[in-house]
Homo-oligomer: A and B are copies of this chain.
Amino acid sequence: MPKVSVSEAQELRVGPNFQLDDVDPKATPGLVGSDDVDKAFHVYDDDLDELQEMLYANGRADNEQAGSVLLVLQGMDTSGKGGIVRHVIGETMDLQGVHVKAFGRPTEEEAAHDFLWRFEPHLPKPGQIAVFDRSHYEDVLVQRVKQMAPPEEIERRYGAIVDFETELAARGTKIIKVMPHISRDYQAENLRKRITNPKKHWKYNPGDIDDRKLWSQYMAAYQIAMTRTSTDVAPWYCIPSDNKKYCRTVVKTLLYDALKSLGNEWPAPDFDPDVELARLAQS
């Protein structure tokens, strides 16, 4: 059965010598045949199902060691962040243990606080998986590209992010940061669909073209942000995503790996099964 293995997925990890320019958005590393991705997409479904339920069960059982997962999705418009939420998270996870939060422009109150303040309430509790659709990286991406903060403040933020994530990891959260990487051509195709298909109009914003014109500046900002904040405890993965199902397949593998590494077991019962079976028989 074709799949993207854990080690293949880990190949996409951003290391110190990472060059975004070297990543081909059309590639599908680990998969060869054209229908491989359809098969590979479901390989980890049962494991994800069980591992997430186990995580949630440990959270419910107040196991302080249950741990949690934070999946950060940060990519250009139409790169498939929403599709990951829908088809990876929605289709394989139990919503009761999942918290999805899409971050837009900060409110006035949020903007008055340190940039990390608004993310705190949405961090995963023990037993939970939290998904950030856009994230604290907006503050070193769009804010850098559009010069919405002074250069020295942007500089400060890389370190602040590393500290924030290191602290979070120390509290037991596995962090996976994903950039679904699409080509400029593929984005044009996607935007064209949003502009011409009335069912997709609601997803289109004329500002998307303004951002598109700043493509190379954005890529430079991603390059810097990812290399400066990809750490052992909070690695970035740059996933080729012109084939969106490939990207979703890799995200499943990464989630599988993260959940597995939490090392949870099914919680021991806080009751005596024999006693309860007897009570059931008499009820």
Contacts and interface: CB of A to CB of B under 8 A. Distances in A.
Contacts of A94: 82, 85-86, 90
A102 interface: yes
Given A201-B269, A267-B202, A192 B95 contact: no
A191 interface: yes
Contacts of A107: none
Contacts of A279: 206, 209
Contacts of A198: 266, 269
Secondary structure at chain A's binding surface: helix, strand, loop or mixed?
helix
Contacts of A86: 94-96
A277 interface: yes
A273 to B, nearest CB: 5
Nearest to A100: B95
A60 interface: yes
Nearest to A53: B199
Interface of A: 50, 53, 57, 60-61, 82, 85-86, 89-91, 93-96, 98, 100, 102, 133, 188, 191-192, 195-196, 198-199, 201-204, 206, 209, 212-213, 266-269, 271, 273, 276-277, 279-280, 283
